[in-house]
Amino acid sequence: MAVIGYGSNVDILFLETASELAKNPNTTTVKRKISDGAGGLIEVDEVQRLFVNPIANGGTPMAEAFQQASNGIEKFIANHPNGFPPIVINITDGEPNNMALATNEAKKLAQLKTSDGNVIILNAHISNASAGKIELPSNDSGFSSNQFAKFLFDISSILPEPLVESAKNAGFNVQTGAKGFVFNADAETLIKLLNFGSQGALR
């Protein structure tokens, strides 16, 4: 597992096991609504562990992030040539600094493969917009005039059958040829994408 954060810098966190995330001792308090036992809801404070400290600043060096992902994946494939191909989930809230370069680096990344198939790239554009949400489209007919949406659609992988089934189980309406791409995603959509997108072992 690896986490690559990109903004003013491109920072990388490689993990041998997911349990290493628990080494971060920090916590945060969030508000959560729970049942009051009488049909209503009450708001309570809940302490949650912070596995990765979030920072938002700087530009969007997406090409450099894809380059770093390629470097890590090449090493992984060298050690696991017959395993399930790695899944890259790119989460972004902005336009890349260099769209042409980001496109080229994403295509290079998608060409890496194990004996079981090519690397799978999923893209999530996160937004608090209430309209215009796009979920796992099979073509760009509904957003061909949106340069950024089309860019993310073009670099996203067509979902292999096991991920299609996982996406359906997560609540998505999946059509034939659907790509792993969501646009103007809210928190619920992003969580659903992360849930089914991390189930590669089912392939």
Are residues 166 and 130 both part of a single domain? yes
Domain contains 17: no
49 to 9, 21, 65, 153: CA distances (angstroms):
24, 10, 26, 33
- ∠ CA 45-47-53, nearest 5°, is 125
User: What is d(CA 155, CA 123) in angstroms, rounded to the nearest whole number?
Assistant: 8
Of residues 87 and 5, more confidence is placed in 87
Written as six digits, the tokens of 143 are 């957003």
Q: Give, as one character, the DSSP assignment of residue 187.
A: H
Containing structural domain, residue 44: 24-49
Task: Report how many domains make up the chain.
Answer: 2
Of residues 121 and 5, more confidence is placed in 121
For 43, the 3-state DSSP assignment is: strand
Share of the chain above pLDDT 90, in %: 46
Contact of 70 with 10, CB cutoff 8 Å: no
Residue at 100: amino acid letter: A
pLDDT of residue 203: 43
Domain contains 4: no
Task: Note the pLDDT tens digit of each residue in 120-142.
Answer: 999 999 876 656 789 999 999 88
Mean pLDDT of 100-115: 96
Domain contains 18: no
Are residues 30 and 109 both part of a single domain? no
Task: Write down how long the chain is.
Answer: 203
pLDDT of residue 202: 47
> How does the average pLDDT of the chain come out, rounded?
86
Domain contains 186: yes
Are residues 150 and 184 both part of a single domain? yes
Are residues 104 and 125 both part of a single domain? yes
Of residues 108 and 165, more confidence is placed in 108
Model confidence at 200: pLDDT above 80: no
Model confidence at 19: pLDDT above 80: no
Domain contains 7: no
Domain contains 107: yes
Mean pLDDT of 80-90: 92
pLDDT of residue 21: 66
Domain contains 13: no
Task: Note the pLDDT tens digit of each residue in 38-70.
Answer: 888 888 888 877 766 667 777 899 999 999 999
Mean pLDDT of 99-117: 96
Domain contains 111: yes
Are residues 33 and 104 both part of a single domain? no
Model confidence at 169: pLDDT above 80: yes
User: What is d(CA 201, CA 108) in angstroms, rounded to the nearest whole number?
Assistant: 23
User: What is d(CA 126, CA 110) in angstroms, rounded to the nearest whole number?
Assistant: 22
Of residues 195 and 64, more confidence is placed in 64
Residue 51 phi, psi (nearest 5): -85, -35
pLDDT of residue 53: 66
Within 13 Å, how many C-alpha atoms sit on residue 108's CB side?
A: 17
Are residues 64 and 32 both part of a single domain? no
